[in-house]
Structure 1
């Protein structure tokens, strides 16, 4: 019996498995989102990007992914006036890499304005997005009588860690 117990809990693979699960429970959820501009229509003329962006919320650390014909179009970040008037000269930033697949990180809370030069802006290739801070998580509902307290919830999260440490200790003791 002791030999079976040693094989089950004493193997390095099992210890690593338990530790891996414990770490996964502690890793926060990643909230950044990749937005494919225009969805299936991509970055092309005759698409209303104002309508595309209307119901979307863009947050810090999200990023825009522009896919387009690299031989004709580009992705230029401009100011509001140049956005409204489709002026491509002197952009704030030229995001065009030449591959037709450009990524723009949204890492500052502000309005971003993008156009495509070469006259494509007049065909609708312009996008304005407002980047905001991620909203705070919703507040927890008030605790009811008899509901688990914060300390017991913390104990539930710590159980895998305690189990992993116990398994590692057991493996150390029985490996001698």
Structure 2
């Protein structure tokens, strides 16, 4: 009874870990947060989900990171920003809501391309894979893999119990 309960909890734990892994996105990839980088192109190649993180790497003596609204983003207006993300040049912000986010650097650097807009989505749960029908009395290959995995889990539980 205890082993069955433990196996069920382990299976639930494994599924929840797989579906809750957050991603750290380095803004601008290797170029970081600097002038004359095409952040629209960078963000077009990324998928952002609630719970992910953005990492801004920059020289804090010259640049900063401000979260702004869409109008301020479009006009490179650094007045009345929503949030100053700047802390020390390696700044991280968690994406906590499914919505568009807008960031720019003040001091005129926005006009040199230091702005990025991203759209954050709710993570989608992948549907369970369909099982293939049994042919010639042999189980499908993914059923064999699941049995092997369950055996290994059972063995580990029995060994440490």
* Bucket of the pairwise TM-score, normalised by the shorter protein: 0.7 to 0.9
The match for 2:115 among 126, 129, 134 is 126
Aligned to 2:102: 113
Number of positions where the alignment pairs a residue of Structure 1 with one of Structure 2: 146
Instruction: Name structure 2 gaps, 5 residues minimum.
Output: 1-9
RMSD of aligned Cα (Å): 2.7
Task: Give the structure, 1 or 2, with the largest relative contact order (CA under 8 Å, sep 6 or more).
Answer: 1
Q: Which residue of structure 2 aligns with residue 36 of structure 1?
A: 26
CA distance in 1, matches of 2:127, 2:12: 20
State whether residues 131 and 140 of structure 2, in contact with CA within 8 Å, keep that contact through their aligned partners in structure 1: no
Question: How do 1:13-162 residues align onto structure 2 when only pairs under 5 Å count?
Answer: 26-27=13-14, 28-29=17-18, 30-97=20-87, 99-145=88-134, 146-148=138-140, 156-162=148-154
Q: Distance in 1 between matches of 2:119 and 2:29?
A: 18
Kept after mapping to 1: 8 A contact 2:27/2:54: yes
Give how far 1:167 is off. Answer: 2.9
**Partners of 1:148 and 1:137 in 2: CA distance:** 20
TM-score (norm 1): 0.72
- Once residues 38 and 120 of structure 2 are traced to their aligned partners in structure 1, the CA distance between those partners, rounded to angstroms, is 19
SS in 1 for 2:159: helix
TM-score, normalising length: structure 2: 0.78
Assess, with a 3 A threshold, how the Cα gap between structure 1 residues 26 and 154 changes in structure 2: closer, same or farther: farther
Whole-angstrom distance in 1 between the partners of 2:65 and 2:149: 46
Q: Cα distance, 1:95 vs. partner?
A: 0.3
